[in-house]
Each structure stands twice: as structure tokens, then as C-alpha cells.
Homo-oligomer: A and B are copies of this chain.
């Protein structure tokens, strides 16, 4: 019984599923419409399974229209994921700063604009064990 956030991240951890979500940004689509780009590499039941994962994660909602199941994007669960990530925003910058420092030691500076700020998160000392 995985928590919601894990289910969301898990659903996103597959390129086929991410492509389906990207396709749904352009609007509703039926299952076979969604499957069409993948039918070279995957069968229709395969796509159905991926859709079920997205559905379980609440990222896709399936309607009914005669024999079609128009699927729509529901990005609400992404909100939680994005909020979780926001906590790491400052560390993303810090990592890039570190990367910048590293590059400066390897290659001559190539006229970067703003790489001058002090590191945003001073590393805490490693206080041995216990």
C-alpha cells in the first residue's frame, strides 16, 4: 500500500507513460489514439496497462463515449510532487554552483554570466559517528 507521492513518482518513472501524459496535454484522446505512436514497439494491451498505472495514480481520468474511452490529463497529483521538489530547489542551484566550480578548475572560463554567488547551502561538517 504505497503512499500517494510514491505512486505518482512511480507512474512517472517510465518514458511511455510520460509520453502519454505529454500527448494528453494537447487534449483528450482515446486509448487507441494514445497507443498509436507506440504500436511499433508495444501491443495495445501493453498500453492499456500503462494507462491503468496512470489511472491508479490519478493522473489520467477515463470517460466513456460509446465504445471509446476518452482519456484526460489530471495534473493535480503532480502538485504534491512539485511541492516536494520545491524543498530541494536551493540544493539544485547549489549542485550547479559546485559543477561550475569544478568546471572552472578543469577548463578556462568561457565568459559565463552569473556564476559568482557564494554557495547557497554551506555544507555541514561530518561529525564522525554516534
Contact = CB atoms under 8 A, between A and B. Distances in A.
Contact of A14 (B6, B81, B95): B6
19 contacts: A2-B13, A2-B15, A6-B15, A8-B13, A9-B10, A9-B13, A10-B10, A13-B13, A30-B126, A30-B129, A65-B126, A68-B128, A75-B88, A75-B91, A76-B92, A76-B96, A78-B88, A79-B96, A81-B85
A17 to B, nearest CB: 9
Interface residues of A, number: 52
Given A9-B13, A68-B129, A87-B22, A28 B124 contact: yes
A43 interface: no
A12 to B, nearest CB: 4
A24 to B, nearest CB: 9
A82 B79 contact: no
A37 to B, nearest CB: 15
Interface of A: 2-3, 5-10, 12-15, 18, 21-22, 25-30, 32-33, 65, 68, 70, 72-76, 78-79, 81-82, 84-85, 87-89, 91-92, 94-96, 99, 123-126, 128-129
